[in-house]
Structure formats: structure tokens, C-alpha cells
Structure 1
Amino acid sequence: MKRNFVVTEQETGRRLDRYLQGRIPELSRTTLRAVIDIGGVHVDGRRVRKNGLIVTAGQSVELHRDEAPLEPFRLDMESIVFQDDYLLAINKPAGIDTQPTPARYQGTLYEAVQVWLGRNRRFGRKLEIGMVQRLDRGTSGLIVFSIHPRAHGPLSEQFRERLVRKRYLALVQGCPAVPCGCFVSHLARNRRRNRMGSTPIGGRPAETRYRVVDARSEASLLLVELVTGRTHQIRAHFSEAGHPLIGDVRYGGPGRYENQDLSYPSLHSWRLKLYHPLSGDRLELVAPVPALMDWPVLDTVAGRLDELLEINS
């Protein structure tokens, strides 16, 4: 939902929450205050989180509202996969935005990390938090942050030089005819369809390796290796191959599986191999698997990922 307004002379002097209540009477003042609190209102192009802001004639006001709960997402101990003074690895739930969007700042993963580390206050020293990865809102699983200025550069370099091994689990419609393969293309955004797709001209190079782990009548569980990390790369490649992700309606996947209505693509960032940015120690991080993809066969493949994907560890 997006609504745009311009403040009139008659509306000058009103509080922001009361101004919006007059403009959008179908939303309660309590709801509007919550939308302002999480960062879904912008005045003259700048995010405003002050309900009592006084509006003046000529100002543009935008309200953005997504489908996520207005109660901000917060981390807990079960969300933390690894943490020390330099590195924080989180098991992100599906449905949480990684970084701020027009509809919210509060409750995104980045803001939740600030709160978890006690760095959300506006006084005192605010230490650096580096975001070197992105996960789509609907993707669950591992995501890593650098939480010390000395860690950000070395960690960013590992991702830039493709030294980090990123293994995903994907539940796709049907079963690929080739049990182990690789997609290589150039991806670009198709603005007419509002999704990513392969293109013969332009775009950015994208490489996706996969192995079918198990297949059932309607779906297959795949182990996926991201060699590159383009927007919607896994979703686009498997959709183009005729095997869209279960739940990925945007890319042609079914919205229902095993009598469940699904809101997000069945994609999980399962394992990351990287080097600690300060000590240089090799880390292999693992995120618990969502119930929909927690097939028994995973117990037998966990120690053979490099072999299954035909790459060197």
C-alpha cells in the first residue's frame, strides 16, 4: 500500500498522525502511529518517525505499508548461529526484510541487529555494522554481519573474491532431468514483468550449481551452490528451467504444497564456509532447516556437499 498527499493551507499546523488520520480515515490512529514508528511515512522524501511532527502547506507526505506485522521483529538467542566481537551470523526467518525499505526501518534485520548489539541508541559511540550479504524477504537461513570496523574489509573481500561457499536448499516443482548441473547466464531485470531473467545482451554474469538431493511426486529437494550472488538468481534460473520454487508465485511456482498455502519461495540459506576476518580460522556455519525442507535424506548428505556439487573444498 502506498498513498501520496500534499499538505494544504487548511491542514497546516496539524500533527502528522492526525493529518494522516484525516487523509486515510479507514486506518485507525493507533495503526497510523505504528506505521510512523516503524518508518513507513516520508515527508518531502525523508523518512519521519515522529508522530507529533507539525506539517506545513506544500509538504509532500507518503505512507508506505507492507504486509508484515507492525510489531517489530526482534532477535533472540535461538536466532544466533555464531557471535564474537567481530562477526555475527543469524538464522533469518522468512518474511523479514534484510535492510530498510520505504515501508519500514524498525523491524528489519539490520535494525534488529542494532538493537541486539545495543547500538540503536543515538548517544555514545555507534560501532560499525557491516552488511556484506543480502537475502530476499522470503528467503530464510544464514546471513553474516561484520560488527567491528576491523572485520568489515576482510569479510567484504572474501565475498567479493568469491571465497565464501554459499549452500542453499531449494524445494522446486517437479524434478530436473539432469540430476547435477549448472546454470550460467547474464541476468537483468525485466521491468515489464518486474522480475529478473536471463538476457543475451547486457545483464550481469550469474552461475548457479545444483544437485537433486531427493525427489517426490510433486517436488524435489535441491542442494544449490551460488557461485555468484545476483538478485533472485536461484529463483530466476530454476523458473527458466521449468522448475520454479515451491511458493514462488512471482516466478511461476505453485502457491500451495501439501495442503499448505505458502507465502514465500521455499529457499533456505543452509550453510556458509568462510574464514574468520581476524583470526583466519575456517568457519562452517549451519542454520536449522525449516520443516518443509527438513527431509530425512539431509542427514546422509551433510558431510558430502563438496563431492555432491563437484567442487573442491
Structure 2
Amino acid sequence: MMQQFQLEKAAPRLDIFLATASGLSRGKIRKIIDFGGAHVDGRRVRRLSCPLRAGQKVELFLDDHPLTPFRLSEEHIVFEDSNLIVINKPAGVLTQPTPARLKGTLFEALEHHLRQQGIHKPSIGMHQRLDVSTTGLLTFSIHEMAHKNLAQQAAEHALQRTYLALVDGKPEPASGTIHTQIVRRNKRTISVESGGKEAITHYELIQEIAEPEGGSFSLLRIHLETGRSHQIRAHLSEQNHPLLGDSFYGGKMSAAGQQFTRPLLHSSRLELHHPVSHEELRFEVPLPADLAALLPSSPEQQR
């Protein structure tokens, strides 16, 4: 959500002006400014005492995420050396900055993590992204020597991710490829006959779970040849098997007696070559608790 204000007269401080204009408490406004949600004449401003001139445009961007900065801990770091870091992202964390926040994103948390190690001006390359609700593996290059190679791997689809997803019903056939052209319209990704970007999704049924009241849901293994925004969510929805928890694309918000707060999608496996040593690397993390709780199977069946 965005609120916009045009100043009729000068104001001595940004925080006082926004608290008065928005009706929010000064304490909350200070946090929003610190997180990067205040913009003056199109530029992000994080100084509370920034003076304002008559005629300036002030925008206040708000989101639904906590005003507590996310910080990396040992449980999130799967691999780290001087060139590369692999992170197991939890749900609810934005990967990159938005108009509403600079602080509290995974990118900013990584900057903070590297500064804590004595790297005062971290150099970070972002070559993958995950939706805020998606959990699992993604990698960043953290040294200039690694940026170009990792970017090339991403561009050539040599940097490969495998996903696990819980979807409504059981796909028929049990494995296959969805190949369409997709576009973004009104924040949704949809397939079109022509004029879109190529999107290729491979899927494989791992397990079908019957529900006591009838119906079923399934655990799928998914591999992407292309990495378009919302590609998995759109493709599965168009096959009438939307992700559980994905109300935006028609998914059920409950199953097996459980309520969902997010689309149940997890980046479980990551394969790449080290950008400097060129060693083959493969990482795998288990399902997060909300997905695992729905499955009666052993971990081996989820691989």
C-alpha cells in the first residue's frame, strides 16, 4: 500500500510530517523510515530529521511484513566460503529490496552478515530469487571474482534448482512437461498463445495423499528450464492443480485439517559449479515443518 502527500508548506522533519499526515504513531513511522519505506521526490530517504520543502512529494510505502529486521543465523547458512554463500530461506522473508523496505530483506541481512565478519563494503551478486512465501535454497556470489561466472551459470540455466510442491488433486499423467508462453497481467502470470516469454516446467508425482473427507493432494518434484516470475504457480494452476495455500492462483487454504498461510512451495535442491574452483556442488535441504506435517511418508520418499 502506498500513501502520497504533496507538501503545501515546508516541514522541519520527515518523521513528524508523516506521523501527522498518515495518522500513524511517530514510533511506527520511525521504523518505516528506517526500513526504507519513505520516499521524497522519488528517492528513498532514511533520515528521520530530513527537512521538507513546499512542493515536494512524499510517498509512504507500507507492507504486511514485520518491522523487525531478519538476520541470518547458522541454521540458514548451508555453505559459505570467501566467494559463495548458499542460504536456506525461511518463509516470509523478501529476497530483495522493495519500495516498502530496504532493511529486513535477505539481501540486506546478507550485507549485515558480511559486515559482522569485517567486510565493510560487501560485494554481493544476486543471481536467483524466491517469492517471499517460498522456502529453500538460493545462492549469492559474495566476491568480485565470483560474480561473472555465477551470473553466466544462471543465464545458461547451469545453476539448477529442484522444487517440492504440494498441489490440489493428482496430476494426470503422473509426470510431464508444461510448455507455454507467459505474460504478467495485473500482477498475475498467465499463459498466452503468442507474444509472451517461453516457460518450461517439468513435474513428477512423488506421492498422492488421500483426505478423509474425500479428494486428495499430491507432492510433486518440479524442475524449471526457465525461471519466470510465478511460473510454477501459474503453470500448476492452469493444469487445475494449484499449490495448496495459493489463494491468488485458486489454491485451497486448508487440507487434512490444517490451515495454510502461504503457497506450499520449497526449493529443495541446488546444483552448480563453484564460480572460482569450478568444483561441482550439490546441496539439499529437507521440507520445512508446514509441508512435512502433511506427509505420512519417510524423508527418503520426498527426495
TM-score (norm 2): 0.93
SS at match of 2:63: coil
Letter in 1 for 2:100: A
Give distance in 2, aligned partners of 1:30 and 1:15.
14
Picking from 164, 173, 177, the partner of 2:159 is 164
In the other structure, the counterpart of 2:196 is 203
Over 3 Å counting, the alpha-carbon distance change for 1:13 and 1:137 in structure 2 is same
Q: Which runs of 5+ in 1 are unaligned?
A: 303-313
In the other structure, the counterpart of 1:278 is 276
Runs of 4+ residues deviating >6 angstroms = none
Give distance in 2, aligned partners of 1:40 and 1:260.
34
Q: Is the 8 A contact 1:119 1:126 kept in 2?
A: no
In the other structure, the counterpart of 1:306 is none
Q: Is the 8 A contact 2:175 2:203 kept in 1?
A: yes
Give distance in 2, aligned partners of 1:66 and 1:195.
19
Give distance in 1, aligned partners of 2:205 and 2:46.
47
Q: Is the 8 A contact 1:99 1:109 kept in 2?
A: yes
In the other structure, the counterpart of 2:29 is 32
1:222 matched to 2:217? The reply is no
User: How far is 1:96 from its partner?
Assistant: 0.9
In the other structure, the counterpart of 1:73 is 70
Deviations 1:254-302 (A, max 9, x none): 1223333322211000001111111111111112311232233441453
1:46 matched to 2:39? The reply is no
Give distance in 2, aligned partners of 1:229 and 1:87.
21
In the other structure, the counterpart of 2:213 is none
Deviates further, 109-118 or 289-298: 289-298
Instruction: After TM superposition, list the pairs within 5 Å mapping 1:149-188 onto structure 2.
Output: 149-188=144-183
Deviations 1:208-252 (A, max 9, x none): 111111111231110001111111010000000000000111111
Q: Over aligned residue pairs, what C-alpha RMSD do you find?
A: 1.6
In the other structure, the counterpart of 1:259 is 257
SS at match of 2:148: helix
User: How far is 1:162 from its partner?
Assistant: 1.3
Over 3 Å counting, the alpha-carbon distance change for 1:260 and 1:59 in structure 2 is farther
Deviations 1:75-130 (A, max 9, x none): 10110011001100001111111110011000001000000111899xx8623200
Give distance in 1, aligned partners of 2:174 and 2:281.
29
Give distance in 2, aligned partners of 1:301 and 1:248.
21
Give distance in 2, aligned partners of 1:139 and 1:114.
21
In the other structure, the counterpart of 2:16 is 18
Deviations 1:39-90 (A, max 9, x none): 0110100011111111111110111111010011111011001100110000
Q: Is the 8 A contact 1:208 1:226 kept in 2?
A: yes
Deviations 1:144-175 (A, max 9, x none): 00001010111111111111221000010111
Give distance in 1, aligned partners of 2:127 and 2:116.
18
Deviates further, 163-172 or 107-116: 163-172
Letter in 1 for 2:73: D
Give distance in 1, aligned partners of 2:265 and 2:100.
24
Deviations 1:172-216 (A, max 9, x none): 01111211111001111123xx30011111111111111111111
Q: Is the 8 A contact 1:221 1:293 kept in 2?
A: no
In the other structure, the counterpart of 1:242 is 240
In the other structure, the counterpart of 1:8 is 8
SS at match of 2:108: helix
Q: Is the 8 A contact 1:71 1:107 kept in 2?
A: yes
In the other structure, the counterpart of 1:310 is none
Q: Is the 8 A contact 1:21 1:29 kept in 2?
A: yes
Over 3 Å counting, the alpha-carbon distance change for 1:165 and 1:300 in structure 2 is same
Q: Which runs of 5+ in 2 are unaligned?
A: 211-215
SS at match of 2:75: helix
Q: Is the 8 A contact 2:115 2:122 kept in 1?
A: no
Letter in 2 for 1:3: Q
User: How far is 1:14 from its partner?
Assistant: 2.5
Q: How many pairs align?
A: 295
Give distance in 2, aligned partners of 1:167 and 1:273.
9
Q: Among the aligned pairs, what percent are the same residue?
A: 45
1:146 matched to 2:147? The reply is no
Letter in 2 for 1:276: H
Letter in 1 for 2:102: Y
In the other structure, the counterpart of 1:135 is 130
